[in-house]
Structure 1
Amino acid sequence: MTQSTQPQLHPRGAAEMLDALVASEGTGAHPHVRAGALSSGPDAMRNLADAVHFLCLLHGRYPGVIDNAARKAVDPASRQWMDEAATAFTQERAFLSKIASAVGPVPSTQGQAQCEAAVAAQRKAIDMLSESDRHGCAVGAAIALTLDWRTIRVLLDISAQRLDMTPPTCALPDLRDTARLAGTVADTPAVERAMMFGAQQLIAQHNGLWDLMAARAASRASS
């Protein structure tokens, strides 16, 4: 008998790999977040305010990652998930904008214009991911955003509570439906690779944002 040369899907499965990626490299794993710079200490509120404003620059405009990816979703499984995610993220954008308005101006930090330019470049990079014609790339980025947003949402909720605001319920698709979508879409090795590429690049942009927030916090602390 001859061995099959047909490419094989990763034995761990797309959903498990996405979960592992977000757990090991996502917002919750970043040193700036893990150190409590946004949740405790005398500078936490200022650091949170900074993060909220820059998250607005990255994800506060329409269309966003999920909206762009939704336009490319043609199969029924993707369509339903994308519609639910896009509707929910509209609410998340509104919540983000409301916090940004309530929290006040961006904390004065050296190199403001360069920082805004850097995040604008990140925004362009994630737009390209979500508009990619490579099958699987856009949905991978969209899934990674919804998974990583769960941690970001915790930070937004902290901001809201300190501003005496009541956070709305997050309506993003649940983990079971998201895992099911990942498994359904990643039906060939090529699509699985594209999905993981989109997810990895989205998470990399989030890491870049938190690197920037850490550098800005350090700059304010030393001035």
Structure 2
Amino acid sequence: MAINRSVGRQTVSVAEAHLARVGAEGSARHRHLNALLESSGHNSARDLADAVHLLCSLHGSHPSLVDVACRNAEQGPGRDWLARAAEGFERERLFLVRLTSAVGPLPSTPGAAETEASLNSQRNALEILAASERRGCALGSAAALVSDWWPIRRLLDRAASRAGIDSPAPALPDEASIVAAIEAASDTPASERALAFGGEQLLLQHRGLFDLLEARAEARSDY
């Protein structure tokens, strides 16, 4: 007798898949981010400063990925959420820019040309995601950025504390609003795939950034 293995299997919504993806592949799982949060050695200040500078290089420019995604979005719940997210991320961006000045200069590190080439590639990837014409792609990348920003914000708060400046209250939309926006926008199989793709690519760029930061920290320790 054949067994229908799909019986009783719970369907995962697009929003649930998004949250699971961020949980499994997001910055919070990267060992270097956790090392930065926990480190107290003599290199920790330089490593934190390096992280702030490179994050600012990736996300400190205006307009942000969320701004661009909002400008290009069609009318509807997704665009409404993007407008709120863009306003909140602008406050985060301004905090990041201010913090970059407070932590001091970019630490001297071997491989500066390779670092700049990697950052240029990542910035180009973010620009493509934000301006994508695939319905759902830009929203997926923006939602992943907002969801993945929380562990990054913990890192910025630690750097701010070390630099002696106050951290503003977080301004990004909460998880419930992200879920609602994704569910409203994922009304076709094509938009579901585009949402997933945008989120995956954003998280890939963040992992690449922390891989780069880890390599730079190791290079400084050998310098």
Q: Same fold (TM over 0.5)?
A: yes
Q: Distance in 2 between matches of 1:84 and 1:151?
A: 20
Q: Distance in 2 between matches of 1:39 and 1:144?
A: 24
Counterpart AA for 2:32: H
Check the 8 A contact 2:185/2:191 in 1, yes or no: yes
Q: TM-score, normalised by structure 1?
A: 0.92
> What's the Cα RMSD here?
1.2
Match of 2:85 in 1: 85
Q: Distance in 2 between matches of 1:219 and 1:103?
A: 20
How much does 1:76 deviate?
2.8
Match of 1:111 in 2: 111
Check the 8 A contact 1:66/1:86 in 2, yes or no: yes
Match of 2:179 in 1: 179
> Deviations for 1:116-160, whole angstroms, at most 9, x for unmatched residues?
221111000111011000000000000000000011001000111
How much does 1:38 deviate?
4.2
Counterpart AA for 2:40: G
Check the 8 A contact 2:33/2:155 in 1, yes or no: no
Match of 1:128 in 2: 128
Check the 8 A contact 2:36/2:155 in 1, yes or no: no
How much does 1:71 deviate?
1.2
Match of 1:31 in 2: 31
Q: Distance in 1 between matches of 2:95 and 2:208?
A: 23
Check the 8 A contact 2:69/2:138 in 1, yes or no: yes
Check the 8 A contact 1:38/1:44 in 2, yes or no: no
Match of 2:7 in 1: none
Match of 1:45 in 2: 45
Where 1:37 maps in the other structure, the secondary structure is: helix
Where 1:116 maps in the other structure, the secondary structure is: helix
How much does 1:99 deviate?
0.7
Aligned structure 1 segments of 4 or more residues deviating by more than 6 angstroms: none
Q: TM-score, normalised by structure 2?
A: 0.92
> Deviations for 1:84-126, whole angstroms, at most 9, x for unmatched residues?
1111111111100111001011111001122022111100011
Check the 8 A contact 1:39/1:158 in 2, yes or no: no
Match of 2:141 in 1: 141
Where 2:197 maps in the other structure, the secondary structure is: helix
Q: Distance in 2 between matches of 1:61 and 1:39?
A: 28
Percent of aligned pairs sharing the same letter = 45
Check the 8 A contact 2:64/2:90 in 1, yes or no: no
In structure 1, stretches of 5+ residues that fail to align are 1-9
How much does 1:14 deviate?
1.4
Q: Distance in 1 between matches of 2:36 and 2:59?
A: 21
Match of 1:67 in 2: 67
In structure 2, stretches of 5+ residues that fail to align are 1-9
Check the 8 A contact 1:22/1:148 in 2, yes or no: yes
Q: Distance in 2 between matches of 1:111 and 1:75?
A: 45
